[in-house]
């Protein structure tokens, strides 16, 4: 709970701001407050990401709600004097007058969010993520208590089903249905895994959720454990996410101390233990079955489905795998009911979506918006418009995502509407690009990523991604074969149809959408006179070095 004092300074401590010296700034602010003799009126609180990134150290003032960015040590003395002694905004670094939903609330038209606040990021940037009391003060663990004391597992699954919540990791599978499969599985023990292996380039919303409000994720997992009958859970998290690991570890410990995790939760006979498993940084391990392999100490490669994890997952036992953001939605749904949840977002995809928005925009950062909002609204209402140049394209959902042209600026971003167009919402990254970006160059970069991250198990992805990369390199240099675009299209189509796992299949997304919307630009890379070289004696071993016999 927020402690009573006149004002609070919230210092956003996340992995980005730490690099900009957030901890030093925090210490300096405390020193300055003491020096100016106002320590009884102003309290300094550490919190998670306040939203903006690329803006240095960001702080918020509560209750007034201003956001200041790019704080440096040398302005702190002046800032404290201006803002708290003289009592006026420190205009030099003022980013926004009101701390709330979007990044830039000075320009945001709040009509779409008038009946709701944030769901997932409700506490982010407001409470101290390392203080469980503050989470409890913000109604934390109430949903778990209600669930354990008043609801049946079946009732919880029904509520989650009714809410229409779909997985926020990218595939958009109905969460309640997934849980019901795991519940129906006969074998025991059952496991819950929180997929925090956020590997999609440009996506870091899960990290900011875990850094800003770790207990909300834990609470969602515990409710899921009660619903499907699992007592052990793992958070599979990227090794790079040091701050998340640190805060989650502390959160687990604190919750165990208060009996909110561990044995006999809320005095019931429900036990729930959460452990952290650190991944080694392979993109494909975000795919749930490759994740299971990695957890078991095996090579990070996808497994055959069926059997699905709900039937045979971790250690061949029934396992429910959900994304961080999905779990963070659970407690609010249980607390407020499915009808409440359905008021936000669209009819087919209720709720909100957390995005990380980046690229050629004025205000890159973390936003939580209702499902169904359009790209145009994101760019102009939340991101402050283009930072330079004109909008050319956006990639929705990380490197495995579709490329949108300006034709799609007004399409509602939600699963069903996008599926109608053959597109996907993906992981939650939105990369916005202006006319300076060449499509061939951009796709070459995407393909390089896939070549690096393909696990090498199935032939189409292993060789296909590499050949795709080579083709785009040729296009970039305007040296592509006369039929290169047809070959690319065919290859992308086959990857989608035949690759073993979603990694290989999703290579098609950026490629096919780029061909659809930017075909004219790509054609410019083709040299119509360049024919395939027939395989002859002279070039049949093209690319091969002379044969070296013997050892090494």
Tell which positions 429-458 bind other proteins, by CB under 8 A.
451-458
Distance between CA atoms of residues 161 and 180, nearest Å: 9
Tell which positions 265-284 bind other proteins, by CB under 8 A.
282
**Region binding other proteins by CB under 8 A among candidate stretches 189-197, 215-223, 260-268, 499-507:** 499-507
Complete DSSP assignment for 33-93: HHHTT-TTTEEEEEES--SB-SSSEEEEEETT--EEEEE-GGGHHHHHIIIIIS-S--GGG
* In contact, 215 and 48? CB cutoff 8 Å: no
- Binding of other proteins at residue 466 (CB under 8 A)? yes
Helix, coil or strand: residue 348: coil
Dihedral angle computed from the Cα positions of residues 494, 499, 502 and 508, in that order, rounded to the nearest 10 degrees:
-20
Helix, coil or strand: residue 205: helix
For other proteins, give the closer residue by CB, 431 or 491.
491
Both tokens assigned to 140? 């934390």
Which of 462, 489, 516, 530 binds other proteins (CB under 8 A)? It is: 462
- Binding of other proteins at residue 133 (CB under 8 A)? no
**Region binding other proteins by CB under 8 A among candidate stretches 22-30, 160-168, 248-256, 543-551:** 543-551
**Region binding other proteins by CB under 8 A among candidate stretches 28-36, 45-53, 70-78, 481-489:** 481-489
As measured in angstroms, the least distance from the Cβ of 501 to other proteins is: 10
Which of 4, 91, 186, 552 binds other proteins (CB under 8 A)? It is: 552
For other proteins, give the closer residue by CB, 436 or 541.
541
* In contact, 71 and 59? CB cutoff 8 Å: yes
- Binding of other proteins at residue 463 (CB under 8 A)? yes
Which of 6, 19, 85, 497 binds other proteins (CB under 8 A)? It is: 497
- Binding of other proteins at residue 420 (CB under 8 A)? no
For other proteins, give the closer residue by CB, 87 or 546.
546
Tell which positions 141-160 bind other proteins, by CB under 8 A.
none
**Most distant CA pair in the chain, distance:** 86
For other proteins, give the closer residue by CB, 199 or 345.
199
Ordered strands of the 319-323 beta sheet: 273-279, 232-238, 191-196, 319-323
469 phi, psi to nearest 5 deg: -60, -45
Residue 70 exposed, middle or buried by CB count within 10 Å (0-12, 13-18, 19+): middle
- Binding of other proteins at residue 475 (CB under 8 A)? no
For other proteins, give the closer residue by CB, 88 or 542.
542
Helix, coil or strand: residue 518: helix
Which of 490, 519, 524, 528 binds other proteins (CB under 8 A)? It is: 490
As measured in angstroms, the least distance from the Cβ of 9 to other proteins is: 46
Distance between CA atoms of residues 425 and 429, nearest Å: 9
Among residues 352, 365, 368, 356, which one has the least CA distance to residue 414? 352
As measured in angstroms, the least distance from the Cβ of 485 to other proteins is: 12
Distance between CA atoms of residues 468 and 461, nearest Å: 10
Which of 87, 269, 297, 551 binds other proteins (CB under 8 A)? It is: 551
**Region binding other proteins by CB under 8 A among candidate stretches 31-39, 139-147, 214-222, 465-473:** 465-473
As measured in angstroms, the least distance from the Cβ of 457 to other proteins is: 5
Between CA 471 and CA 434, with CA 199 as vertex, the angle to 5 degrees is: 55
Which x/- pattern, by CB under 8 A, does the window 291-330 give for other proteins? --------xx---x-x------------------------
Tell which positions 516-535 bind other proteins, by CB under 8 A.
532, 534-535
Distance between CA atoms of residues 449 and 463, nearest Å: 14
Complete DSSP assignment for 428-478: SEEEEEETTS-HHHHHHHHHHHHHHH--S-SHHHHHHHHHHHHHHHHHHTT
- Binding of other proteins at residue 546 (CB under 8 A)? yes
Which of 470, 477, 479, 528 binds other proteins (CB under 8 A)? It is: 470
Binding residues for other proteins, rule: CB under 8 A, are 282, 299-300, 304, 306, 451-460, 462-467, 470, 481, 483, 487, 490-491, 494, 496-500, 505, 532, 534-535, 540-552
């Amino acid at each position: 709970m927020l402690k009573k004092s006149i004002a609070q300074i919230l210092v956003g401590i996340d992995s980005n701001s730490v690099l900009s010296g957030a901890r030093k700034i925090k210490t300096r602010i405390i020193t300055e407050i003491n020096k100016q003799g106002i320590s009884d009126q102003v309290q300094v609180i550490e919190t998670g990401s306040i939203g903006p990134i690329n803006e240095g150290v960001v702080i918020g003032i509560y209750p007034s709600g201003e956001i200041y960015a790019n704080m440096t040590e040398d302005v702190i003395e002046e800032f404290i004097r201006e803002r708290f002694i003289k009592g006026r905004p420190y205009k030099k670094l003022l980013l926004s007058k009101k701390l709330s939903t979007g990044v830039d609330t000075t320009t945001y038209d709040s009509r779409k969010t008038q009946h709701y606040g944030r769901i997932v990021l409700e506490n982010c940037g407001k409470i101290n993520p390392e203080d469980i009391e503050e989470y409890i003060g913000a109604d934390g663990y109430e949903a778990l208590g209600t669930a354990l004391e008043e609801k049946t597992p079946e009732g919880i699954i029904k509520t989650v089903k009714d809410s229409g919540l779909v997985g926020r990791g990218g595939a958009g599978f109905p969460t309640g249905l997934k849980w019901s499969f795991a519940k129906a599985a006969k074998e025991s023990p059952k496991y819950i895994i929180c997929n925090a292996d956020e590997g999609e380039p440009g996506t870091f919303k899960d990290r900011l959720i875990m850094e800003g409000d770790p207990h909300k994720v834990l609470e969602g997992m515990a409710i899921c454990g009660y619903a499907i009958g699992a007592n052990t859970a793992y958070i599979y998290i990227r090794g790079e996410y040091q701050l998340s690991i640190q805060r989650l570890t502390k959160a687990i410990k604190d919750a165990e101390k208060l009996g909110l995790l561990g044995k006999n939760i809320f005095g019931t006979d429900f036990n729930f233990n959460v452990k952290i498993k650190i991944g080694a940084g392979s993109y494909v391990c975000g795919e749930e079955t490759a994740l299971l392999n990695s957890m078991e100490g095996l090579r990070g490669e996808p497994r055959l489905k069926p059997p699905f994890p709900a039937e045979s997952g971790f250690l061949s036992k029934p396992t429910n795998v959900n994304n961080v953001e999905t779990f963070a939605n659970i407690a609010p749904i249980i607390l407020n009911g499915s009808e409440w949840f359905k008021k936000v977002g669209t009819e087919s995809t209720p709720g909100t979506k957390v995005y990380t928005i980046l690229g050629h925009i004025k205000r890159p950062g973390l936003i939580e918006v209702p499902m169904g909002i359009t790209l145009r609204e994101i760019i102009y209402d939340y991101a402050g418009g283009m930072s330079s140049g004109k909008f050319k394209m956006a990639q929705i959902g990380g490197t495995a995502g579709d490329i949108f042209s300006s034709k799609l600026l007004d399409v509602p971003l939600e699963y069903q509407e996008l599926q109608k167009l053959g597109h996907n919402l993906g992981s939650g990254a939105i990369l916005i690009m202006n006319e300076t970006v060449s499509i061939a160059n951009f796709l070459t970069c995407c393909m390089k990523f896939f070549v690096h991250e393909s696990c090498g198990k199935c032939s189409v992805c292993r060789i296909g991604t590499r050949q795709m990369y080579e083709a785009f390199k040729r296009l970039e240099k305007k040296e592509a074969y006369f039929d290169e675009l047809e070959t690319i299209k065919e290859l992308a189509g086959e990857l989608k149809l035949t690759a073993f796992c979603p990694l290989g299949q999703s290579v098609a997304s950026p490629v096919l959408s780029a061909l659809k919307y930017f075909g004219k630009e790509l054609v410019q890379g083709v040299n119509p006179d360049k024919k395939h070289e027939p395989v002859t004696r002279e070039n049949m071993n093209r690319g091969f070095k002379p044969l070296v016999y013997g050892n090494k």
